[in-house]
């Protein structure tokens, strides 16, 4: 008789967390999913429907899904959630490039991860599978290629988000030294079917509505399904104290934006944002925000990233786990096909 592994997923209502929960359920595993009292289920429900369109299948799988209220900054609720868990997938994180969110980034990403590590050790969790980021590798001179062996360097190019994830990694490595079995992924910018109004996926909605600008910067991208699949694969394999860069494609923003526009059958962006324009744009938006509650999310950090060329090498996971990435063209096509359904769901 097959006994399912007990899995805990933090950040289960988020983009990656939703895909991970669905893939674990599809794999026949039991999932205890963490939510906060303020959690919004719209993204999870949309992704769940994407994986399992048949209501009968949904009801059957929900029997293997338990929702618990847990916050990575609340030791009591987190400790309760971790009881009797064998595998923990730590996906919960704050992604922000706003200067005002610096302290919150350190709390959620760094202190929150330290709490997860400490309680995994206390509760005797078999393995912690941690979602880091390529941001934790640090940014070096434009044009350099980074991989798992890249050393963190203090640099003005590093965002507060990057610093918080780098410090979070140190907590995970500290847990490994104290006896916790860990595996880590460092995904690039994650894209795929989800809430197209926020995060990295907001690019799809922005281009759909019409975006005139593009830049010639380069960044690494990966399909959300690939990241979830790799996490489950690493959990099953006897791979310990290793991290894996996960970038399916290094692309110029221009090429990615054009690909998304073509898939959505929308007009391509046509204004190339030069370095001086990027430097000017975030300053203008900083002034705009002094007089308004909202504003376009153009910050000093995002403007700088838009013109930087950052390349990433994912040979380790390809060679060691025989892992194949989904072509970015397929990812964009999936997004384009799902976007009309998302518009109906919101």
Question: What is the 3-class SS of 272-300, one letter each residue?
Answer: ECCHHHHHHHHHHHHHHHHCCCCCCCCCH
What pTM was estimated for this model as a whole? 0.91
Read off the pLDDT of residues 113-134 as tens digits, 9 standing for 90 and up. 999 999 999 999 999 999 999 9
Q: Which residues pair with 246 in a beta bridge?
A: 187
Q: Give the CATH H-level superfamily of domain 6-195+219-249+312-321.
A: NAD(P)-binding Rossmann-like Domain (3.40.50.720)
pLDDT of 56 strictly over 70: yes
CA 276 to chain CA mean position, Å = 30
Q: CA–CA separation, 21 vs 10, rounded Å? A: 10
Average pLDDT rounded to a whole number, residues 214-219: 86
Beta strands in the chain (DSSP E): 6-10, 30-35, 65-69, 87-90, 127-131, 145-146, 181-187, 189-191, 213-214, 218-223, 242-246, 249-252, 271-272, 311-312
Residues of the chain with pLDDT > 70, as a percent, come to 88
Average pLDDT rounded to a whole number, residues 277-298: 44
Q: Domain-by-domain residue ranges, the chain?
A: 6-195+219-249+312-321
Range in 248-252, 303-307, 322-326 the model is least confident about = 303-307
The number of beta carbons lying within 10 Å of the beta carbon of residue 86 is: 15
**DSSP-derived pairing of the beta strands 249-252 and 218-223:** antiparallel
pLDDT of 74 strictly over 90: yes
Residues of the chain with pLDDT > 90, as a percent, come to 72
The pLDDT of residue 329 is 97
**DSSP-derived pairing of the beta strands 213-214 and 189-191:** unpaired
**Token duo for residue 322:** 């025989």
pLDDT of 285 strictly over 80: no
Beta strands in 22-176 (DSSP E): 30-35, 65-69, 87-90, 127-131, 145-146
Q: Which residues pair with 88 in a beta bridge?
A: 8, 128
């Amino acid at each position: 008789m097959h006994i399912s592994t007990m899995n805990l997923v933090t950040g289960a209502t988020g983009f990656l967390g939703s895909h991970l929960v669905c893939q674990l359920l599809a794999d026949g595993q039991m999932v205890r999913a963490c939510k906060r009292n303020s959690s919004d289920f719209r993204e999870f429900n949309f992704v769940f429907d994407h994986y399992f369109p048949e209501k009968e299948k949904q009801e059957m799988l929900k029997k293997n899904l338990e929702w618990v209220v847990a916050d990575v900054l609340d030791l009591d609720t987190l400790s309760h959630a971790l009881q009797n868990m064998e595998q923990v997938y730590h996906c919960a994180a704050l992604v922000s490039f706003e200067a005002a969110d610096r302290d919150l980034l350190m709390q959620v990403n760094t202190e929150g991860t330290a709490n997860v590590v400490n309680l995994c050790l206390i509760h005797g969790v078999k393995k912690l599978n941690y979602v880091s980021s390529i941001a934790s590798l640090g940014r070096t001179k434009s044009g350099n290629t980074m991989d798992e062996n890249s050393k963190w360097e203090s640099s003005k190019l590093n965002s507060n988000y990057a610093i918080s994830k780098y410090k979070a990694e140190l907590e995970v490595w500290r847990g490994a030294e104290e006896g916790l079995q860990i595996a880590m992924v460092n995904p690039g910018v994650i894209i795929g079917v989800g809430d197209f109004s926020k995060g990295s996926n907001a690019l799809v909605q922005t281009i759909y509505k019409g975006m005139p600008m593009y830049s010639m910067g380069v960044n690494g991208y990966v399909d959300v399904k690939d990241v979830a699949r790799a996490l489950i694969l690493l959990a099953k394999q006897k791979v310990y104290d290793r991290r894996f860069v996960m970038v399916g494609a290094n692309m110029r923003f221009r090429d990615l934006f054009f690909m998304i526009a073509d898939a959505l059958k929308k007009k391509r962006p046509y204004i190339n944002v030069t370095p001086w324009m990027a430097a000017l744009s975030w300053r203008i938006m900083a002034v705009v925000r002094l007089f308004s509650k909202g504003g376009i999310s153009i910050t000093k950090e995002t403007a700088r990233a838009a013109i930087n060329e950052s390349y990433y090498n994912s040979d380790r996971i390809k060679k060691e786990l025989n892992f194949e990435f989904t072509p970015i063209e397929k990812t964009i096509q999936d997004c384009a096909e799902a976007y009309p359904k998302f518009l109906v769901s919101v």
